[in-house]
Amino acid sequence: MLKSSAPAQAGAQKEGEAGFRPAPGCKIAWGYAFVAGLVGASGFEPLGLAPLMLIALAILMWLVRTAPTLRSALARGWWFGAGNFVLGLNWIATAFTFQAAMPVWLGWVAVILLSLYLAIYPAAAAGLAWRWGRSDPLRLVLVFAAAWIVTEWLRATLFTGFAWNPIGIVLLETPVAALATLIGTYGLSGMAVLLSGALFLLAERHLKSVLAVVAPIALLAAILALQPRATIAADAMAIRIVQPNISQADKWKEDVSDRNLALIQSLSGRPSDKPRLLLWPEAAVTEQLQDGRAYPFLQRYILRLRQRVARSIGPNDVLLTGGVTFQAPDGKKVTSATNSIFALNSDGDILARYDKAHLVPYGEYLPMRPILSAIGLSRLAPGDVDFQPGPGAQTIAIPGVGPAGFQLCYEIIFSGQVVDRAHRPAFLFNPSNDAWFGAWGPPQHLAQARLRALEEGLPVLRATPTGISAVIDASGRILSSLPVGTAGAIDARLPMARAPTLFARLGNILPLLVALFLAAIAIAVARKAR
């Protein structure tokens, strides 16, 4: 067992001090950190082995505390992050198997390069923990948790952000997840680090510190668990979510587009006089539903397409479907496109449109296109025209439905950015195309949608072509779902929204305040030690 020693005057331990166990050599420590990161990634879906993530983080804390220098601590955090992201993001490589413009092996190159970049953030957290907490185990844990909150928020923010797989998501099936209603996902990640820190402190035989860390989290989780859960009103609107199980390989083929649309319509059920909200996946209609080119024959064709789509819609129904638009400012030449959600009525009229704001680099647009296209790189999604972003989170009042919020595909992963706080919706619609992402991507995506429901106190409705489609209530519970690789439909009633949570009111200022609070406690611990 590791034993803590009293803080040295210079804040560092020396070999020969009582209770000190020398750390492994640098390269061996890097290997330990990398393996710990790999093991920790099994805490994410689809494996969902949450205790292994907590154990892995505890090992990282030991490696950081025994690091001889700041540079060594940074390296150990970086190797942990590299292992964690390489395994957790392996689904990205699958996306490269659905295009012919680039070699498939480039997918794993993309996974590795992205992981090497993302590992900078846990490295920064490790460096801060070593710099300000290495002389005392409790202080190390507190600084580590504070630093992790900030660096994870930065990961979701800088350079368009990539918020996939926050550490706190491993607590989703535990009572501690309820804290997300107060402090959001990044605050929940801080709680995961604190719980891992309790394991580290237990190994260091700091039993009082273990109690000081665990007791407040357990008490707050117990109080929140007493709150009433989300409900469904007896007169709630009927909804039907369609999952056609159309593979990515077949989705964009022109010779099967009519067959695919017919399949989606057959799963939509017969229209009736009773009001119904019909929900189709992202880009369910692969031809443009709006086109800025003013050619009369083209506009007639698009109108007929919308009317054909509208055959699935009853006189009191509303269809929300993913589709695309072409933008032509001069009425002639297409300059860009939008990845959109359309609200259509039974006449094929467009009641509303939401344009995706948080676009995927290399998926929906090619950064530095003149340079990258010249060396043979292209977008993963088909097409020569890049998508342009919409204005951001919006609440749109849809006739017969009410105020609806929209998050298209991976937009749903960005904590604190999914709702127009000035105009709160009654639910969030999250159509997606997870057919790109193999076995690991869809369950991870679903877990992040559940966190948004929990944070915001809003139901989330997911429609995907191949799974996992789901109805998620405002407490983050899955009420109904269709697994990957299944064609079918979900018939349900629209769950009720809860009163706005504290996080829904204030957003990501709250986890950052938690980080500041933990840092203040760490300073107080240091002063008491002196």
Nearest to 490 by CA among 450, 458, 462, 452: 462
User: Distance between CA 23 and CA 231 in Å, rounded?
Assistant: 53
The answer to whether 238 touches 275, Cβ cutoff 8 Å, is yes
Token pair for 441: 């991507």
Active site residue 364: no
38, amino acid identity: L
User: Distance between CA 468 and CA 452 in Å, rounded?
Assistant: 16
Single out the catalytic residue among 204, 282, 364, 455: 282
Q: Where are the beta strands (DSSP E) in 44-199?
A: none
Token pair for 219: 């008490």
Single out the catalytic residue among 251, 356, 364, 411: 356
Residue 331 — left, alpha, or beta (φ > 0 → left; ψ -120 to 50 → alpha)?
left
Distances (CA, A) of 251 to 301, 407, 482: 21, 21, 19
Single out the catalytic residue among 152, 204, 409, 455: 409
Active site residue 204: no
User: Distance between CA 215 and CA 194 in Å, rounded?
Assistant: 11
What DSSP character marks residue 393?
S
For residue 2, the cross-strand partners are none
**Phi, psi of 143, rounded to the nearest 5 degrees:** -65, -40
How many helices and strands (H and E) does the chain possess? 16, 13
For residue 489, the cross-strand partners are 242
Residues 138-141: contacts with CB within 8 Å, 24+ apart? Answer: 138/201, 138/206, 138/209, 138/212, 138/213, 138/525, 139/522, 139/525, 139/526, 139/529, 140/61, 140/64, 140/65, 140/197, 140/200, 141/61, 141/193, 141/194, 141/197, 141/198, 141/200, 141/201, 141/209, 141/213
Beta-sheet pairing, 350-355 with 395-398? unpaired
User: Distance between CA 212 and CA 194 in Å, rounded?
Assistant: 10
Contacts of 419 (CB under 8 A, 6+ apart): 393, 395, 405, 425, 428, 456, 458, 504
**What are the b/e assignments for 350-362, b being 16+ CB within 10 Å?**
ebbbbbbbbbbeb
Active site residue 282: yes
The helix/strand/coil state of 474 is coil
In degrees, rounded to 5, the angle at the alpha carbon of residue 409 between the alpha carbons of residues 403 and 413 is 90
Which residues does the annotation mark as catalytic?
282, 356, 409
